[in-house]
Chains A and B, each alone.
Chain A
Amino acid sequence: MAKMNLLQAINNALDIAMAENEKVICFGEDVGVFGGVFRATSHLQEKYGRARCFNTPLVEQGIIGFANGLAAQGHVAVAEIQFADYIFPAFDQIVNESAKYRYRSGNLFDVGGLTIRTPYGGGISGGHYHSQSPEAYFAHTPGLKIVVPRNPYQAKGLLLSSIRDANPVVFFEPKRIYRASVGEVPEEDYELPLGKAEVLKEGTDITLLAWGAQMEYIEKAAEMAEKDGISCEVIDLRTILPWDMDTVVNSVLKTGRLVISHEAPLTGGFAGEIAATIQERCFLYLESPIARVTGLDTPFPLVLEKEYLPDHLKIYEAIKQSVNF
């Protein structure tokens, strides 16, 4: 085992994927010599050559259009969008093309070899064009998989699974903890399953659910609540689409309470989808309304981001309200 931060784990996963399969191609803005704006692709060009790891012009719709074609041709395209906020010029290529390639052609063609990596989320004083969490826009699109890791170990295993998965994957990387999150990561190859949530901690009074960078806060809130004698079950959803309903349902059947937290705005956020499903399946078991702790329905702010973001205290309050309902 080695100590790695989240970026190093991603770099390590890309290195393993490229060494194993010469069809794996990494590209995006600045990913070549420079190694990407966050250095996720460091040294890959040196190791695998300019043909397999390269800079593209600054054109997101071009990057994903190109990636779709490359994947349709049979290569494994790992495209980087420098910030998730800049994925929108490529929205059409992702939503209309990547997601529907297999379906619309009756399985004659597909872009299953495509993985889109993109840093998301706040906490870096990035203002609204370097802080957004756009997962819910993509969660409305059948045909995509959406994955969000929470730490280096998860990042490596989930990224290797995403690259090797037979479907197009949008892989959101929590950039706030790119360097802050450090942990033991096996140097060898391993995969973590897509579409499976992970129960981090078992508990009996309330279920706490989040993904990505929010996991840090939800775990902290759980610790605080435990001190008050509240037993929390903590779940990392890991895959937003398709999401692991069974794990969440089984947990809520046991605890009777659910708090969901995400950085994205409340309205239309993915917590709404989860809440609707849980009330459908666990209605008679619910002891209190499902709570959502999220960003506000505003664009992402700059100076007031600490106030804007859901944190451990806001989650802690939601836990107490739910338990005392």
Chain B
Amino acid sequence: MSQTTKTIEVIHKPEFIQGNEFKFPIFQVLKQDGATYKGAKLPEMDQEEALKIYRTMVFTRVLDERMLAAQRQGRLSFYLQSTGEEGTVVGFAAALDDRDMIMAQYREQGALAYRGFSVDEFMNQLFGNELDYGKGRQMPIHYGSAKLNYMTISSPLATQIPQAAGYAYGQKLEGKGLCTVTVFGEGAASEGDFHAALNMASVHKVPVIFLCRNNGYAISTPSSEQFAADGIAPRALGYSMRAIRVDGNDILAVYLATQAARKIAVEENEPVLIEAMTYRLAAHSSSDDPSGYRSKKEEDVWRAKDPIARMRNWMIKKKWWSEDEEKQLQDSMRQEVLDAMKNAEKRPPPPVESLVTDVYDEVTPQLHEQLEKLKMHVRKYPDAYPKSAGRMTHG
């Protein structure tokens, strides 16, 4: 197709349009004290759904606290928290059809938990034991579940974004009325994959929701050094795509925005971009120390905007929740996480044969040979390798 010949205004002086003149508004429903803004649209959310969302947020925070502690004790090699961003992550997941595909970055454990990934399933992955669906091949937090339509996480940043466009194109061809949601940080939005994906998706009109968690920091780089413009949302306009900026710590706003985005994606086969403004209260990962690059004061400002507290205040106002129930929930979840962690830790790693499976659909002769050589070596020096390496089928 050639360029369309729409009527374009003609000017006779070199007047430039300044990219940063346009500022995206921010969609907000819920105040920190749990009250809602006058005139704000409220979602149709019953008590049961609200409680499920709330419990999931609390669960992931408890999981984060316990697992970070476990990492500090040397029981876990690595961990990534979602602390501070639970509103964005659980909020979007709750607004989807459970059959929609989620292609996340790595800080979205709340979405997986919302879909029913059990605490044991989390632990099996974190400890890479024999029950880990990923067979102990990736670092902790690289979850995946085919059953729950949650694509296995890949470490390289932003690679999932064009993949989501392709996945959604397939959904569109099958006419299933489903969409794909891909999640990434504002740092990942600097990668070429982000731009490639938005362009591909808008040209080919696919039902994909691009969800940016703008959490203020890309590892140690503040967003002020990550992009010069007004955040990520305006970029959608350049690709002729609808975009919304939402308060990512406002569960009701995230929920409503995602619902509306899903409607556009599925009913119109159009991609949509959501930019959720939130804050990474935790470190980037267990290997990072944010005190080296930001002040406690800044963190305190955001701690006061805690998405979990905000939802709790709302539910207490609606008499759907109480402080007593809160304490019970916290205690029981802590216990549940600790018990599951102990069980998962005790389980052995996958057998050594799993080193060579799944490289191809079938094990190649080369890999067979390499495995046999390795087994003979381990048998010769059994004490030099983990005991579990001895768990191999003979022959």
- B166 in contact with A106 (CB, 8 Å): no
Alpha-carbon gap, A210 to B156, bound state (A): 35
- B360 in contact with A56 (CB, 8 Å): no
> Would you give the shortest CB distance from B210 to chain A, in whole angstroms?
13
- Evaluate whether A108 and B144 lie within 8 angstroms (CB atoms) in the complex, with A59-B199, A103-B359 already known: yes
Query: Which of A50-69 touch B at CB < 8 Å?
Result: 51, 54, 56-57, 59, 61-69
Query: Which of B158-204 touch A at CB < 8 Å?
Result: 159, 161-171, 173, 180, 192-193, 195-197, 199-200, 203-204
Alpha-carbon gap, A89 to B366, bound state (A): 30
CB of B107 within 8 Å of the partner chain: no
- B154 in contact with A104 (CB, 8 Å): yes
CB of B270 within 8 Å of the partner chain: no
Alpha-carbon gap, A112 to B388, bound state (A): 31
Which of these, B169, B195, B365, B366, contacts A66 with CB under 8 Å? B169
Which B residues are in CB contact (< 8 Å) with A145?
A: 360
Which A residues are in CB contact (< 8 Å) with B164?
A: 69
Alpha-carbon gap, A104 to B162, bound state (A): 19
- A65 in contact with B203 (CB, 8 Å): no
- A65 in contact with B360 (CB, 8 Å): no
Which A residues are in CB contact (< 8 Å) with B196?
A: 57, 59, 61-62, 65
- B159 in contact with A104 (CB, 8 Å): no
- A61 in contact with B137 (CB, 8 Å): no
Which A residues are in CB contact (< 8 Å) with B101?
A: 73
Alpha-carbon gap, A89 to B358, bound state (A): 26
- Evaluate whether A72 and B133 lie within 8 angstroms (CB atoms) in the complex, with A92-B159, A167-B360 already known: no
> Would you give the shortest CB distance from B366 to chain A, in whole angstroms?
6
Which A residues are in CB contact (< 8 Å) with B146?
A: 105, 108-109
Which A residues are in CB contact (< 8 Å) with B144?
A: 105-106, 108-109
Alpha-carbon gap, A75 to B168, bound state (A): 11
How many residues of A are counted as interface, with CB atoms below 8 angstroms from the partner's CB atoms?
Answer: 48
Which B residues are in CB contact (< 8 Å) with A73?
A: 101, 166-167, 169-171
Closest to B135 in A: A106
Closest to A165 in B: B361
Which of these, A67, A96, A246, contacts B156 with CB under 8 Å? A96
> Would you give the shortest CB distance from B104 to chain A, in whole angstroms?
13
Which of these, B154, B166, B203, B358, contacts A77 with CB under 8 Å? B166
CB of A128 within 8 Å of the partner chain: no
Query: Which of B266-299 touch A at CB < 8 Å?
Result: none
Can you list 30 A-B contacts (CB < 8 A)? A56-B200, A56-B204, A57-B196, A59-B195, A59-B196, A59-B200, A61-B162, A61-B192, A62-B162, A62-B199, A64-B162, A65-B200, A66-B163, A72-B163, A72-B166, A73-B167, A73-B169, A75-B170, A93-B162, A102-B359, A103-B137, A104-B137, A106-B132, A106-B133, A106-B152, A108-B152, A109-B146, A166-B360, A242-B360, A242-B366
5 closest cross-chain pairs (CB), A and B: A65-B162, A69-B166, A62-B196, A73-B170, A69-B163
Given A54-B204, A69-B162, 6 additional A-B pairs, CB 8 A: A56-B200, A59-B195, A65-B193, A72-B163, A75-B170, A106-B135
